[in-house]
Amino acid sequence: DTGVSQDPRHKITKRGQNVTFRCDPISEHNRLYWYRQTLGQGPEFLTYFQNEAQLEKSRLLSDRFSAERPKGSFSTLEIQRTEQGDSAMYLCASSGRTATGELFFGEGSRLTVL
């Protein structure tokens, strides 16, 4: 399978704990995005990387959230001191060099904060 892969698929944690999600984009894609989706809603943009550079961050991304893409390949999204409101599906997507809206999404990492 050469699509976008995310790990873990499901994470249950207690409030206050830290969690980290990993995304492996399609190998030839240089653009990588993180979105958050809650039940019944459309995805909300969190952040964007072009190669290893984080070019845009949403104001939704509080200081408890940090994302990295150190070598321009895989990316990690860390949430520190999780809160119940962080419970959501965290979606990663990648795209090629053309700036269209065609993003290739992974199946997401579902976070439940108890």
Partner 1 sequence: GESVGLHLPTLSVQEGDNSIINCAYSNSASDYFIWYKQESGKGPQFIIDIRSNMDKRQGQRVTVLLNKTVKHLSLQIAATQPGDSAVYFCAEKQGNYQLIWGAGTKLIIKP
Report the residue number, 7 or 83, with the smaller CB distance to partner 1. Answer: 7
Nearer Cβ to partner 1 (1/14): 1
Q: Are 109 and 88 in contact (CB under 8 A)?
A: no
We find the least distance from the C-beta atom of residue 17 to partner 1, in angstroms, to be: 25
3-class DSSP state of 99? coil
Backbone angles phi, psi at 15, to 5 degrees: -55, 135
Shortest distance, CB of residue 43 to partner 1, whole angstroms? 5
Sequence-ordered list of residues with C-beta below 8 angstroms from that of 114, at least 6 positions apart, any chain = 12, 13, 14, 15, 84
Shortest distance, position 1 Cβ to partner 1, whole Å: 13
Residues near partner 1, by CB under 8 A: 4, 31, 33, 40-45, 48, 55-56, 58, 91, 93, 99-108
The token duo for 70 is 């150190």
Is the CB of 18 or the CB of 41 nearer to partner 1? Answer: 41
